[in-house]
Amino acid sequence: MEDFDDLSACAGIVHKGDPDRFAATMAAKPAARDILLPLYAFNVEVARAPWVTQESMIAEMRLQWWRDGLEEIRVGGFVRRHEVITPLALVIGGEGASVLDRLILARRWDIYRDPFEDAAHFESYLSDTGGGLMQVAAQALGPCPAEVAQDVGYALALANWLRAIPALEAAKRVPLLDGRPEAVAALAAEGLTRLKRARAAKAQVSMAARQAFLAGWQSATILRQAQQEPERVKDGALGQSEFAKRAGLAWRATSKTY
């Protein structure tokens, strides 16, 4: 009963906090959902931790709590009773916990108002957050090269980041090193290059692991929009209609492609 209650709680967290990823999860097979929901609930909770308080020390403590939970999973043995940590411990091992720990460390940037140090810092932020989550999710489902999952996750993280630019700027953050249209277009082009590279390696990705890639079903469309019309980024005009989103997800789920 506790397992069912935990998964229900995770589903509720993802449905409320990340509805697109929830829709992608529901398009996966039931057995895959049981693995993906704890991972995605963890991601929602960690992503929101820096934003629920104005006190940086409290935000740091919230992130440290999740790091402590991952450390318990990494070393094995006792794992705290929690609606997300408990089911997460059933689907990842020590390696996955280490990758997710880097995700938490990257999220410390969200606490403060400092800009990214340089292009490498921005790239590592996307790789450690979106790339890391996709790597753990895909490998928890089945065989998948880490670099392929990282490329798919990076493209998704970049697409989501570009969509969030107006909200981040409204929150007095500096989300881009260079906000000029040509620089934004170049960023989007890099995301598309990574996605193309991942697709070229799909023969190395098991059918089970590909279910994790459903979460990125909108990435290519959004990145192409940003590349071709970079002004849409600052206008908050990236994305698809609800009908197009649903149709695209259905096609991805039935075609087994990404």
> What does each of the 258 residues of the chain score in pLDDT, given as a tens digit?
567 899 999 999 999 999 999 999 999 999 999 999 999 999 999 999 999 999 999 999 999 999 999 999 999 989 999 999 999 999 999 999 999 999 999 999 999 999 999 999 999 999 999 999 999 999 999 999 999 999 999 999 999 999 999 999 999 999 999 999 999 999 999 999 999 999 999 999 999 999 999 999 999 999 999 999 999 999 999 999 999 999 999 999 998 789
Whether 89 and 137 map to the same domain: the answer is: no
Whether 106 and 123 map to the same domain: the answer is: no
Residue 95 CA to residue 101 CA, distance in Å, equals 10
Alpha helix locations (H) across 49-118? 56-75, 85-89, 94-106
Whether 160 and 178 map to the same domain: the answer is: yes
Whether 79 and 40 map to the same domain: the answer is: yes
Whether 176 and 85 map to the same domain: the answer is: no
Q: Which of 69, 96, 112 is the last residue of a domain?
A: 112
Whether 67 and 127 map to the same domain: the answer is: no
Q: Which of 94, 112, 130 is the last residue of a domain?
A: 112
Question: How many separate domains does the chain show?
Answer: 2
Whether 85 and 127 map to the same domain: the answer is: no
- pTM value? 0.96
Whether 142 and 108 map to the same domain: the answer is: no
Of 249, 157, 252, the closest CA to residue 202 belongs to 252
Given this model, what pLDDT does residue 1 score? 53
Residue 130's domain spans which residues? 119-258
